[in-house]
Structure 1
Amino acid sequence: MSEEYLQLNRATWDERAPAHAASPDYALERFHTDPGFLSDVVRFDLPRLGEVGGLRGVHLQCHIGTDTISLARLGARMTGLDFSGASVERARELAAASGADVDFVEADVYDAADVLPEGSFDLVYTGIGALCWLPSVDRWAATVARLLKPGGRLFIREGHPVLWSLGDARPDGLVTVEHPYVERAEPTVWQEGGTYVETDVEFEHVTTHEWNHGVGQILTAVLDHGMTITGFAEHDSAPWDALPGYTEKLDGGEWRLADRPWRVPFTYTLQAVRTP
């Protein structure tokens, strides 16, 4: 496959990283001033995440490191990895400013097991909005399996493939399927000048290549690479306004459909353990 998608997507994230770090939505100042502060994403995950104290963990596609540092604050020994040099730079600055002992590595996620110690992690963590940038979920699962030690676990909360397949808001209020649900060889090409957080920055890099991955494809990839699924939960909310015009904001920072939210899963949490 052409590496064009990497160049386009990396340029997009390199440009957005400083804007995200400056946005109140990422709340970096709270990390600086409050040693107990956790990101909204990790706080949502706590009931399913369980005890992570003492675990050696790696956060794949960590962006500017807020979730990575939150996991470190829960007692895990964390490494963050991202392909965007600008994102890694902001993550390192945040770690230094907040006193977090976290390593951040710049590398493509598919190269993670080549640049990090293979088979040495108790926890592989992936957060919201990561898999959609990858053309092959099977290759991602193979990377996860290589990173985990026997008995180590995968934890991922991600946007639901049903959500990624939906179209924009319509005047009649209907929710429609407009985009691929399953992984295809061809990417969906987007031209979007904005971003998902509050910012006044106008971006120059607006073209991205993205892929959806159906639930069956994700679960099969995890199973095919020697992991046992220990949990799968679907949620009717997401930590950003995923369908503007259809949604309402809940306490705790999550958003869901305002009208009959049980119709559409917005996110899911998947847990698996590498078979010894």
Structure 2
Amino acid sequence: MDVDYRKLNRANWDDRAPLHAASTDYAMERFRSDRSYISDVVRFDVPLLGDIRGLRGVHLQCHIGTDTISLARLGATMTGLDFSPASLVQARLLAEQVGTAVDFVESDVYDAVSVLGKQQFDLVFTGIGALCWLPSIQRWAQTVADLLRPGGQLFLREGHPVLWSVDEEQTDRLVIGYPYFETEKPMEFTGGTYVDVDGTIDHPSTQEWNHGLGEIVQALIETGLTITGLTEHDSAPWEALPGRMARDDDGEWRLTEHRERLPLSYTLQARKP
């Protein structure tokens, strides 16, 4: 019998949520002590994101809400959506503790339109490490298009699909070890989490998919969105290739050698006519 990827992955993210909230990686205490603080991820996004004051935004796959709260601190009225109830417990707690009004909603991303309504948002934001949990990039793109009001914008920063295809266990060279293009069957992994904190993952199995950059762009175009920007970066906000990267002052990780050889993340922007 086929495993329901949503139940499998939800159990994994429910395990991760309290560990992530307790880790220094998510800087929860910094959010509490400094009401002007925004996450390193969103701070990196600001030059391309621009002024979002007064916009109504939704952060898809928001996890424990640190980036969502950061966007609210930049002046947007934010909704965060995630399928993990344990993640949303942490997100709501943090929002209450720091006095930031964010509406956190539990839902699978593909159900976002039925839960939140059509054409309700000026901004759809999706961050690092989100798309790999979705089997169909076309369904995701249609969800984004349906959520946006006319004139609304998508802002996506993600790990680069070339990076996702690299086998990180091959430490002496860059080796393509996983699919670049979307596949019908998922990749199956068993492991822990990416934060440096003690704790147990009781549900370590996950199912994931990669999506080629062209597939993502074309899916958005086919929904009627207009691509307004595509920027590839030589950095990522986590140590994607352990032992071969160094963290810079901006909080981003870059290859210690031959940075020019591998795109690590990208920013894609689109607008609904």
Partner of 1:64: 64
The answer to whether the aligner puts 1:114 opposite 2:111 as a matched pair is no
Partner of 1:174: 173
The answer to whether the aligner puts 1:49 opposite 2:49 as a matched pair is yes
> TM (normalized to structure 1)?
0.97
The answer to whether the aligner puts 1:225 opposite 2:207 as a matched pair is no
How is 1:130-169 mapped onto 2 (pairs within 5 angstroms)? 130-169=130-169
Count of equivalent residues? 273
The answer to whether the aligner puts 1:262 opposite 2:269 as a matched pair is no
Q: What amino acid is the match of 2:252?
A: E
How is 1:179-218 mapped onto 2 (pairs within 5 angstroms)? 179-192=178-191, 194-218=192-216
Partner of 2:251: 253
Greater mean alpha carbon deviation, residues 162-171 or residues 135-144: 162-171
Q: What amino acid is the match of 2:237?
A: P
Shift of 1:33: 1.1
For residues 122-152 of structure 1, give each alpha carbon's deviation from its aligned partner in whole angstroms, at most 9, with x where no partner exists: 0000000000000000000000001000110
Shift of 1:117: 2.2
Q: What amino acid is the match of 1:270?
A: L
* Structure 2 unaligned spans of 5+: none
Q: How many Å separate the matches in 2 of 1:184 and 1:117? A: 30
Q: How many Å separate the matches in 2 of 1:120 and 1:150? A: 10
Find the residue that maps to 2:254 and give its secondary structure: strand
* Structure 1 unaligned spans of 5+: none
Q: How many Å separate the matches in 1 of 2:205 and 2:17? A: 16
Shift of 1:204: 1.5
For residues 198-252 of structure 1, give each alpha carbon's deviation from its aligned partner in whole angstroms, at most 9, with x where no partner exists: 1111212111000000011000000000100000000011000000021111112
Q: Is the 8 A contact 1:227 1:274 kept in 2?
A: yes
Q: What amino acid is the match of 1:264?
A: L
Shift of 1:2: 5.4
For residues 252-276 of structure 1, give each alpha carbon's deviation from its aligned partner in whole angstroms, at most 9, with x where no partner exists: 211111111110000000000012x
Q: Is the 8 A contact 1:19 1:199 kept in 2?
A: yes
Q: Which runs of 4+ in 1 moved over 4 A?
A: none
Shift of 1:170: 3.1
